[in-house]
Amino acid sequence: DVKVTQSSRYLVKRTGEKVFLECVQDMDHENMFWYRQDPGLGLRLIYFSYDVKMKEKGDIPEGYSVSREKKERFSLILESASTNQTSMYLCASSSQTPMGVDTQYFGPGTRLTVL
Amino acid sequence: AQSVTQLDSQVPVFEEAPVELRCNYSSSVSVYLFWYVQYPNQGLQLLLKYLSGSTLVKGINGFEAEFNKSQTSFHLRKPSVHISDTAEYFCAVSLDTGFQKLVFGTGTRLLVSP
Res A21: pLDDT: 97
Digit-coded pLDDT (tens) for A93-109: 998 877 667 789 999 99
CA–CA separation, A7 and A24 (whole Å): 8
Instruction: Check CB contact of A98 with chain B, cutoff 8 Å.
Output: no
Least confident of A51-65, A72-86, B86-100: B86-100
pLDDT mean across residues, chain A = 93
- Checking if the pLDDT of B98 tops 60, the result is no
For residue A104, list chain B residues with Cβ-Cβ distance below 8 A.
Answer: 44, 46, 100, 102
For residue A48, list chain B residues with Cβ-Cβ distance below 8 A.
Answer: 100-101
Digit-coded pLDDT (tens) for B70-79: 999 999 999 9
Q: Are B107 and A94 within 8 A, CB to CB?
A: no
Least confident of A27-36, A47-56, A98-107: A98-107
Digit-coded pLDDT (tens) for B21-44: 999 998 777 788 999 999 988 889
Least confident of A67-76, A96-105, B2-11, B35-44: A96-105
- Checking if the pLDDT of B66 tops 90, the result is yes
Res B18: pLDDT: 97
pLDDT mean across residues, chain B = 91
Among residues of chain A, what percentage have pLDDT more than 70?
Answer: 97
CA–CA separation, A86 and A63 (whole Å): 12
- Checking if the pLDDT of B96 tops 70, the result is no
Q: Are B94 and A106 within 8 A, CB to CB?
A: no
Tell which of A21, A27, A101 to mutate to test the B interface (max B CBs under 10 Å).
A101
Res B51: pLDDT: 86
CA–CA separation, A73 and A67 (whole Å): 8
CA–CA separation, A45 and B43 (whole Å): 15
Q: What is the DSSP string of B21-55?
A: E--EEE-SS-EEEEEEEE-TTS-EEEEEEE-SS-S
Mean pLDDT across B37-54? 90
Mean pLDDT across A28-54? 93
Q: Are B23 and B6 in contact (CB under 8 A)?
A: yes
Q: Which one is predicted more confidently, B63 or B41?
A: B63
Mean pLDDT across A5-21? 96
